[in-house]
């Protein structure tokens, strides 16, 4: 087929550029500027999908965001994109789309059998059917529902496209570039306001693109072009097309999705596919326009039945005829504009007007053009299965209840107009309670809730003259409030054809003996009969009716169906629409790509990656890294064919025998300064701090107010009023917030300041029996003897010209020192340590060896201080002062925390001395006991003890202190292992702590 | 997203802040004998009012000051913000 329905010389597509694309595998041609919908219609294709429930044939109903039918799946550069609206997606060379919800093809769809079984698929079918027996859920019901549900298939591959977020501020955001949007943007911009004008379509102008009007002696299109050009030239204005403002959130934050590359064959270099704008607007003018309402009649979902405004836009913007024998079915003057447009293009339409005797300029014009018009006439039912072939039409009585003279006339499309529904979604999301306007039979925004005003047809103003005048005024008023300027531009004169009111009639009665499906919601197959049934079954609240029947749900969110649904409910209930109310509008207004919401925060970009200054050395020396919070730390340094187990064992053994060096930069560091610093630490930590001398470090434990251990670490008194606190890597940020909380809110009288210095210092721990010899070589002028620099001592010294701080602290349980230098000198320090340490058999060790060393020493870490343990549980009760008060102390008196058989830290060794115990295993008395097996506790950390060359674990078990020597079992249901174990002291190596003091 | 007027920095978006809970809770003084009930009230019990609520926010990605925010929990309207130790009107 070769664009048989394309008009010559009409429309705005670029005829110079022919574009080929594939639909369901078949090649078609269109022009640059076409949407998939316009290009397919040009080729005479109207069957594009199948409906959700009955799999009835689906065509095109609208021309934009309101489209309920034409949802396709797009393949672009091997990426799959479901839920593409054919009316919005522009074509590009090589585009491939296919139909969804049909099998094996859109032409022959097995699921269409549902259409003949429709008496078995009433409203609430799922609720009624998938009830019993419960055992059917998992194997039968759920797979069935999953198979039937959804449009299209999401890709399971990683999306390689790039999406960005942008944060923007403006005086005034205007959502839509129709007449009201353009006029208000122009007035506000001229008055100095910083304006963002957003348009969801590729072309600016909204209804001005298709209506036959005159503004300031120009056509709508010419005026649009002039205003847009001027706005674009102004530095205080941002104009965006293909940009949908879809959400109105708190405090005038609106979110807009800009489709930057969706209309291109490939995303350009340095550009994202889509950009999500977070816009904080001082004021908002909602100019989102209105959507034409369908009329309801038999088989009104047949392909070829569409909104009359859509038919007009296909002609005027795309130069495409939706049919060559059009029937226009209308209850207002809008249908006449479409009919006149057909006539102008050489096609003879027939107008069926539900009104008995209307008169207006445009009706006169239609009559003068010899268009056939039948008043008090309705379409009873569309005929044809995959495309409209004819229609049963009839005269309707004045009370609109009876049909006469039913006859069948040939037609290939039915363009319907049931008047207009303002798009009040954004105003409603802002919190604006809408009110019902009887004149237009629709809801309009009421009092502003946030700083928002609604203008133009979105506010129920349907004459251009009033729209333009009001928008100029609003644009000026709003900008005047912000800029306090008074540059007022006058509104242009407007000439438009006057029209009359619409007929409130919207639903054609069924002729006697007929049971046509009359659809309200085209996306979810909700018919008049479904709503009637729901009400018969007792559903009253419109929110319940919505959920029971699915009216107004899914991707189009009832843009075309909501009001007719409300009309029907109120008719049956003998109420008026405002009494029924409407369902809540929630963002997003249109579907938004998940990728755009996520933005650049994917994979490694979801959080910053922190690296120590020595990172490149680790990389060069075959370090295998592990994520430690946002830090990357060496887990082990691979030599030859070693795996994790061999390497960490070698590294840990070398620490016990010679000397090792570990990058400890990641530890949290906080400077605590001020005359009350000692008193503050005394309140923060559980142990005593007032008498710590200058030049000494102390290990401390801090609690939360509920008595649970929050963190541990050493703090060193650098000078009289200056302390250097260290925290665990994971808790660094929380501890700082915790300290700030107490200093700022609880004890503001304490004269103390805290600041994070984590990034200021690079740290290296040197540990092992040779570490003092190494230190002597690194600091030849410093007395590093046991007396000169005792355990928990602190010294400042010069490291080959670089100032360094030496803390004699130990996590490994060996004789050890931690050297800190300014971050910039970290790499230098590390290289010096490796160079000088060579003669003492130094080796770097990673976090795995570090864990091994601390576990066999019984030192607790994050796996024991897991947010559930109090000091006693982690065997830290010796650090809890009985004399002074501190954060969380009062909680330790609670009965559960003083119970004598609390879980406590112990060591665990497998009886066979060879089987490693999986972390997380349960400790139980009898592995064969009835399930659930009473659990004594759990294994918190496991290692291979390099000291004894057998597995060793730490566990926290009930009444731990009295369990030493017991033979129990470690069970891991996950690993399917049951291991006989013996409970031992948690201090497996050097229980007296001689090494650290040697 | 809320727009919070930090008394130290000015208007900033919510994503710069961390929520800190009820600002009217007062920690019992140190070294003071108090009942289990009083302590439990302080550690665990919080009201969840609908309407005006004085709450703590921590400007963690800004000035790192804890501030007090008077906010309506149902409409999110923010009436006033205070420095940590400013008198509450």
- Residues of chain A with Cβ-Cβ distance to B88 below 8 Å are none
Name every chain A residue with its beta carbon within 8 A of the beta carbon of B19.
none
pLDDT digits (tens, 9 = 90+) for A371-383: 999 999 999 999 9
Residues of A in contact with B3 (CB under 8 A): 250-253, 280
CATH number listed for the domain at residues A163-290+422-495 = 3.50.50.60
Give the start-to-end residue ranges of the domains of chain B. Answer: 3-25+38-83
Q: Give contacts of B31 with chain A, Cβ < 8 Å.
A: 884-885
Q: Are A394 and A380 in contact (CB under 8 A)?
A: yes
A251: left (phi over 0), alpha (psi -120 to 50) or beta: left
Which of B3, B30, B79 should be substituted to probe chain A, the one whose Cβ sees the most A Cβ atoms within 10 Å?
A: B30
Q: Note whether A251 contacts B66, CB cutoff 8 Å.
A: no
**Whole-number Å distance between alpha carbons of A559 and A582:** 12
The β-bridge relationship of strands A95-99 and A14-23 is: parallel
What digits encode the pLDDT tens for the residues A124-169?
766 676 666 777 766 777 776 666 666 777 788 888 899 999 999 9
pLDDT of res. A135: 72
In three-state secondary structure terms, A422 is: strand
Closest by Cβ to B31, choosing from A741, A748, A885: A885
User: Nearest-CA residue of chain B relative to A887?
Assistant: B30
Please state, as a whole number, how many other Cβ atoms lie within 10 Å of the Cβ of residue B1: 15
Instruction: With beta carbons under 8 A apart, name residues in chain B contacting A706.
Output: 43-44
Residue A1's pLDDT is 47
Integer Cα distance of A471 and A476 in angstroms: 8
Cα A94 from Cα A105, distance rounded (Å):
21
Distance between CA atoms of A781 and A783, rounded to whole angstroms?
Answer: 7
Q: What is the DSSP letter of A141?
A: I
The residue ranges of chain A whose pLDDT is under 50 are 1
**A918: part of which helix (H) or strand (E)?**
none
Question: What pLDDT does A144 receive?
Answer: 67
Cβ contacts of A250 on chain B, cutoff 8 Å: 1-3, 76
- Return the DSSP state at A782: S
Q: Tell me the C-alpha distance between A893 and A874, whole Å.
A: 17
Q: Please report residues of B whose CB lies closer than 8 A to that of A740.
A: 58, 64-66
CA atoms within 13 A on the CB side of B56: 21
Measured between CA atoms, the residue of chain A closest to residue B21 is A741
Per residue in A307-360, pLDDT (tens digit) is 999 999 999 999 999 999 999 999 999 999 999 999 999 999 999 999 999 999
Say how many CB pairs under 8 Å bridge A and B. 57
* Cβ–Cβ below 8 Å for B13 and A741: no
Alpha-carbon gap: A894 to the closest alpha carbon of chain B (Å): 8
* Distance (Å, whole) CA A623 – CA A625: 6
CB atoms within 10 A of CB A787: 8
CB within 8 Å: B44 and A706: yes
* Nearest by CB: A744 against B36, B39, B84: B84
Reported for A348-354, long-range contacts at CB under 8 A and 24+ positions apart, including other chains, are A348/A372, A349/A415, A350/A326, A350/A374, A350/A409, A350/A411, A352/A327, A352/A328, A352/A377, A352/A378, A352/A379, A352/A393, A353/A377, A354/A295, A354/A330, A354/A378, A354/A396, A354/A400, A354/A503, A354/A505
Task: Tell me the shortest Cα–Cα distance from B55 to chain A, in angstroms.
Answer: 12
Its sign, for the CA torsion A800, A804, A810, A812, is negative
- Phi, psi torsion values for A335, nearest 5 degrees: -60, -30
A431 with B2: Cβ contact below 8 A:
no
| The pLDDT value given to residue A148 | 64
**Residue in chain A nearest B13 by alpha carbon:** A280
Q: Which residues pair with A795 in a beta bridge?
A: A806
The top-level CATH class assigned to A668-845 is: alpha beta
Which residues are CB-contacts of A108 (< 8 A; sequence separation ≥ 6)? Answer: none
Judged by a CB distance cut-off of 8 A, whether residue B43 touches chain A is yes
> Where is B76: in which H helix or E strand?
none
Which pLDDT value is given to residue A238?
98
Residues of A within 8 A of B84 (CB-CB) are: 744-745, 748
Q: Measured between CB atoms, does B88 come within 8 Å of chain A?
A: no
CATH number of the domain located at residue range(s) A898-997 in this protein: 2.40.30.110
Question: CA nearest B30 in A: which residue?
Answer: A885
Query: What's domain B3-25+38-83's superfamily in CATH?
Result: Folate-binding superfamily (3.30.2270.10)
A707 to chain B: closest CA residue: B43
Report chain A residues whose CB lies below 8 A from the CB of B63.
none
- Give me Rg for the CA atoms of chain A: 38
CA distance, residue A249 to nearest chain B CA (Å): 6
Looking at beta carbons, which residues of chain B come within 8 Å of A251? 1-3, 76, 78
Cα angle at A37 between A32 and A42, to 5 degrees?
Answer: 70
Nearest chain A residue (CA) to B3 = A251
Whether A250 sits inside 8 A of B2 (CB atoms) is yes
Q: Which of A38, A40, A13 is nearest to A24 (CA)?
A: A40
Angle at A726 between CA A725 and CA A732, to 5 degrees: 110
Distances (CA, A) of A864 to A91, A129, A955: 59, 50, 8
* DSSP reduced 3-state for A118: helix
Record: contact A890-B44, CB cut-off 8 A: no
Q: Do domains A1-158 and A668-845 have the same CATH topology?
A: no
Q: Are A272 and A261 in contact (CB under 8 A)?
A: yes
Q: How far apart are CA A85 and CA A67, in angstroms?
A: 7
By C-alpha distance, the chain B residue nearest A749 is B85
Q: What is the pLDDT of residue A534?
A: 92
Shortest alpha-carbon distance between residue A78 and chain B (Å): 35
For B40, which residue in chain A has the nearest alpha carbon? A891
* A658-667 per-position pLDDT tens digit: 999 999 999 9
Decide if A253 and B85 are in contact by the 8 Å CB cutoff.
no
Contact A748 B76 (CB under 8 A): no
SS3 percent helix, strand, coil of chain B, rounded to 5, is 10, 35, 50
Output the pLDDT for position A603. 85
Most B-contacting residue of A165, A170, A251, A704 (CB-CB within 10 A), to test interface: A251
Q: Does B75 touch chain A (CB under 8 A)?
A: yes
Return the domain boundaries, chain A.
Answer: 1-158, 163-290+422-495, 294-418, 668-845, 898-997
Question: So what's the pLDDT on residue A162?
Answer: 92
Q: Is A874 exposed, middle or buried (0-12, 13-18, 19+ CB in 10 A)?
A: buried
Smallest Cβ–Cβ distance between B1 and the set A250, A737, A746 belongs to: A250
State which CATH number among 3.40.50.620, 1.10.443.10, 1.10.150.250, 3.50.50.60 fits the domain covering A294-418. 3.50.50.60
CATH number of A1-158: 3.10.20.440
């Amino acid at each position: 087929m070769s664009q048989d329905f394309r008009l010559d010389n009409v429309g705005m597509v670029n005829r110079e550029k022919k574009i080929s694309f594939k639909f369901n595998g078949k090649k078609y041609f269109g022009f640059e500027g076409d949407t998939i919908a316009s290009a397919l219609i040009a080729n005479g294709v109207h069957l594009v999908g199948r409906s959700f429930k009955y799999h009835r044939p689906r065509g095109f109903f609208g021309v934009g965001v309101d489209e309920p039918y034409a949802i396709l799946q797009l393949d672009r550069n091997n990426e799959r994109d479901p839920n593409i609206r054919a009316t919005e997606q522009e074509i590009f060379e090589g585009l491939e789309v296919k139909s969804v919800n049909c099998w094996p093809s859109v032409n022959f769809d097995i699921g269409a059998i549902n259409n003949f079984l429709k008496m078995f698929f009433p409203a609430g079918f799922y609720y009624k059917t998938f009830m019993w027996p419960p055992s059917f859920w998992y194997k039968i019901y759920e797979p069935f529902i999953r198979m039937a549900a959804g449009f299209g298939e999401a890709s399971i591959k990683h999306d390689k496209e790039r999406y960005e977020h942008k944060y923007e501020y403006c005086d005034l955001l205007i959502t839509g570039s129709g007449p009201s949007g353009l006029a208000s943007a122009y007035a506000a911009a001229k008055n100095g306001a910083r304006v963002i004008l957003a348009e969801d379509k590729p072309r600016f102008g909204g209804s001005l693109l298709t209506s036959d009007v005159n503004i300031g002696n120009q056509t709508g299109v010419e005026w649009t072009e002039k205003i847009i050009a001027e706005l674009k030239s102004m530095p205080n204005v941002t104009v965006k097309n293909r940009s949908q403002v879809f959400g109105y959130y708190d405090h005038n934050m609106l979110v807009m999705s800009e489709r930057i590359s969706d209309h291109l064959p490939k995303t350009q270099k340095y550009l994202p596919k889509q950009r999500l704008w977070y816009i904080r607007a001082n004021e908002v003018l909602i100019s989102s326009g209105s959507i034409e309402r369908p009329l309801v009649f038999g088989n009104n979902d047949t392909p070829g039945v569409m909104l009359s405004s859509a038919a007009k836009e296909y002609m005027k913007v795309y130069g495409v005829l939706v049919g060559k024998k059009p029937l226009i079915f209308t209850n207002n003057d809008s249908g006449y504009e479409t009919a006149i447009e057909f006539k102008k293009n050489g096609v003879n339409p027939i107008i069926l007007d539900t009104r008995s005797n209307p008169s207006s300029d445009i009706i006169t014009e239609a009559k003068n053009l010899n268009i056939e018009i039948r008043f008090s006439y309705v379409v009873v039912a569309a005929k044809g299965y995959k495309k409209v072939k004819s229609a049963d039409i009839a005269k309707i009585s004045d009370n609109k209840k009876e049909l006469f003279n039913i006859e069948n006339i040939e037609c290939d499309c039915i363009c319907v107009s049931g008047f207009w529904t303002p798009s009040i979604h954004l105003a409603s999301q802002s919190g604006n309670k809408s009110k019902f306007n009887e004149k237009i039979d629709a809801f309009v925004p009421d009092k502003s809730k946030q700083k928002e005003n609604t203008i133009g047809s979105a506010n129920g103003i349907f004459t251009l003259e009033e729209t333009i005048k009001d928008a100029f005024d609003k644009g000026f008023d709003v900008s005047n409030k912000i800029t306090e300027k008074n540059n007022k531009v006058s509104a242009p004169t407007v000439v438009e054809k006057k029209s009359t009111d619409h007929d409130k009639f919207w639903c054609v009665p069924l002729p006697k003996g007929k049971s046509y499906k009359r659809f309200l919601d085209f996306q979810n197959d909700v018919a008049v009969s479904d709503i009637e049934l729901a009400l018969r079954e007792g559903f009253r609240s419109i929110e319940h009716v919505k959920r029971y029947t699915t009216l107004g749900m899914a991707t189009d969110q009832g843009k075309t169906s909501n009001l007719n649904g409300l009309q029907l409910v109120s008719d049956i209930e003998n109420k008026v629409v405002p009494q029924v109310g409407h369902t809540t509008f929630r963002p997003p207004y249109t579907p938004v790509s998940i990728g755009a919401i996520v933005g650049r925060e994917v994979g490694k970009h979801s959080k910053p990656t922190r690296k120590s200054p020595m990172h490149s050395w680790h990389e060069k020396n075959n370090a295998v890294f592990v994520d430690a919070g946002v830090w990357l730390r060496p887990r082990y340094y691979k030599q030859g064919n070693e795996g994790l187990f061999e390497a960490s064992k070698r590294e840990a053994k070398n620490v016990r025998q010679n000397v090792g060096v570990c990058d400890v930069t990641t530890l949290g560091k906080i400077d605590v300064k001020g005359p009350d610093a000692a008193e503050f630490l005394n309140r923060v930590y559980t142990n005593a701090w007032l008498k710590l001398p200058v030049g000494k470090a102390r290990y401390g434990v801090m609690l939360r107010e509920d008595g649970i251990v929050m963190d541990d670490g050493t703090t060193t008194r650098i000078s009289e009023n200056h302390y250097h606190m260290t925290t665990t890597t994971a808790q660094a940020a929380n501890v700082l917030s915790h300290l700030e909380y107490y200093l700022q809110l609880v004890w503001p009288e304490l004269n103390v300041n805290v600041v994070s210095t984590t990034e200021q210092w690079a740290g290296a721990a040197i540990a092992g029996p040779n570490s003092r010899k190494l230190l002597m070589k690194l600091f030849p002028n410093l007395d590093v003897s046991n007396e000169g620099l005792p355990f928990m001592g602190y010294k400042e010294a010069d490291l080959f010209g670089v100032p360094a701080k030496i803390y004699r602290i130990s996590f490994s349980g060996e004789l050890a020192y931690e050297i800190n230098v300014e971050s910039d000198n970290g790499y230098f320090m590390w290289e010096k340590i490796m160079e000088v340490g060579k003669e003492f058999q130094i080796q770097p060790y990673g976090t795995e060896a570090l864990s091994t060393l601390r576990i066999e020493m019984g030192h607790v870490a994050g796996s024991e201080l897991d947010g559930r343990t109090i000091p006693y549980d982690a065997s830290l009760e010796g650090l809890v002062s009985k004399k002074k008060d501190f954060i969380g102390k009062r909680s330790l008196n609670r009965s559960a925390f003083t119970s004598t058989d609390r879980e406590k830290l112990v060591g665990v060794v497998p009886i066979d001395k060879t089987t490693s115990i999986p972390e997380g295993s349960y400790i139980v008395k009898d592995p064969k006991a009835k399930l659930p097996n009473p659990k004594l506790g759990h294994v918190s950390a496991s290692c291979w003890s390099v000291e004894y060359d057998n597995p060793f674990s730490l566990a926290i078990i009930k009444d731990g202190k009295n369990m030493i020597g017991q033979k129990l079992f470690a069970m891991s249901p996950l690993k399917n292992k049951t291991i006989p174990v013996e409970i031992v002291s948690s201090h497996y190596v050097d229980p007296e702590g001689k090494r650290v003091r040697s | 997203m809320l727009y919070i007027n930090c008394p130290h920095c000015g208007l900033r978006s919510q994503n710069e802040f961390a929520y800190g809970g009820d600002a009217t809770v007062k920690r019992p003084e140190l070294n003071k004998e108090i009942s289990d009930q009083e302590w439990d009230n302080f550690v665990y019990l919080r009201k969840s009012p609908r309407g005006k609520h004085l709450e703590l926010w921590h400007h963690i990605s800004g000035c790192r000051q804890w501030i007090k925010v008077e906010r309506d929990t149902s409409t999110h309207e923010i009436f006033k913000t205070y420095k940590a130790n400013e008198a509450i009107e």
